[in-house]
Amino acid sequence: MPIPSRTLGAGGPSVGAIGLGCMGMTWAYSAEDRDDATSVAVIHRALELGVTLVDTADMYGPYTNEELVGRALRDRRDEAVLATKVGLVVEEGPPSYRMGRDGRPEHVREAIDASLRRLGVDHVDLYQLHRVDEKVPVEETWGAMAEVVAAGKARAIGMSEASVDELDRAHAIHPVASLQSEFSLWTREPLADVIPWCAEHGAAFIPFAPLGRGFLTGRLAAGSFQDGDFRTGNPRFSDEAMAANEAIVDRVRAVAERHGAAPGQVALAWALAQGEHVIPIPGTKRIAYLEENSAAANLALAPEDLAELDEAPAPVGNRY
């Protein structure tokens, strides 16, 4: 069954209701099970399933993720809605994963050209400010992002992990087509402000880590992470926090059993139910999980299911 579509921002392109986050193919998670040929096959299968929003960033790798995505889309560019990002820079790779921010207009102008070269395309469909740089007024950064659109190098621009104030300030200069932020059953804060802002302003809301970095699938066990996996330093993935947070997964499992679905599918269906402008981008390096995730777009949760999930306990441990 083909997956339903949603609109990527006011007047934007139609995309599959579930997208594909490509970060883990080259960055942040375990390197031991990465394989470029398999990742390319995953991207190709995604397009066949109607998972057309393909999300990357220049700092994933750094740079190698865009190169991988570019290879995968070399002969299939017209089938994908391609999104990348600017504004985060890698100061130190694993195990610390220390990041800096660079929102200077000159950096934006240089970075888009570099991203286009790595991707092997003449434009991206969505160019996103990965993080607002506190040292640069958002108006200056966003003005440079708007220049990218005027130059035909991006069809639209979006933000990531921005506040309502930052969204308002940017939107006054050029329409914000999307906001990408972490959102899932164990990261529900965006429901209070930015998800409603997106609905009011015709912007898409793109949840990253909608499966709780894999935790909501019920497949992760404490102590199972390999060297180089950034989750080893994430407070929510300490042994104690994971044990406490099993209460959230138990709630998801109960709903999944009633529907004959996988827990991860229920977690994605819950995110989709938060608004027609919500387009989750779960990441995966395996075709089987891609197919499982995409099928969640056709899983309809009943009001009582949603109510039960809404009552799941708050997570133990900070995100970072």
What is the tens place of the pLDDT at every residue in 237-248? 888 999 999 999
- Is residue 26 predicted with pLDDT exceeding 90? yes
Confidence (pLDDT) at 36: 95
Listed residue (160, 86, 155) closest to 118, CA to CA: 86
Does residue 303 lie within any of the structural domains? yes
Cα 301 from Cα 298, distance rounded (Å): 10
Residue 96: what pLDDT? Answer: 76
More confident residue, 118 or 225: 118
**pTM score, whole prediction:** 0.96
Q: Establish whether the linkage from the previous residue to 235 is cis, with ω within 30° of 0.
A: no
Query: How many Cβ atoms sit within 10 Å of the Cβ of residue 227?
Result: 10
Residue 217: give the domain boundaries. 5-310
At residue 270, the pLDDT reads 98
Residue 71 lies in a domain: yes
- Judge whether 54 lies within some domain: yes
Residue 132 lies in a domain: yes
User: What's the pLDDT band for 232 if we cut at 50, 70, 90?
Assistant: confident
**CATH number (domain holding residue 79):** 3.20.20.100
Residues with catalytic roles: 60
320, part of any domain: no
Pick the closest to residue 129 from 172, 96, 177 (CA basis): 177
Residue 279 has pLDDT above 90, yes or no: yes
Largest CA distance in the chain: 53
pLDDT confidence tier of residue 94, bands split at 50, 70 and 90: confident
CB neighbours of residue 19 within 10 Å: 30
Phi-psi region of 63 (alpha: psi -120 to 50; beta: other; left: phi over 0): left
Task: Give the integer Cα–Cα distance in Å for 97 and 28.
Answer: 8
Strand, coil or helix: 174: coil
Give 81's pLDDT tier (boundaries 50, 70, 90): very high
Mean pLDDT lowest among 26-40, 94-108, 120-134, 268-282: 26-40
Distance CA 101, CA 262 (A): 37
Judge if the upstream peptide bond of residue 315 is cis by omega within 30 degrees of 0.
Answer: no
Output DSSP code: residue 163: -
d(CA 156, CA 137): 20
Residue 268 lies in a domain: yes
pLDDT value at 233 more than 90: no
- Domain contains 317: no
Confidence of residue 272 (pLDDT cuts 50, 70, 90): very high
Is 66 among the domain residues? yes
Domain count, the chain: 1
CB 153 within 8 A of CB 183: no
Quick check: 49 and 3 in contact, CB under 8 A? yes
CA dihedral (311, 312, 316, 320) positive or negative? negative
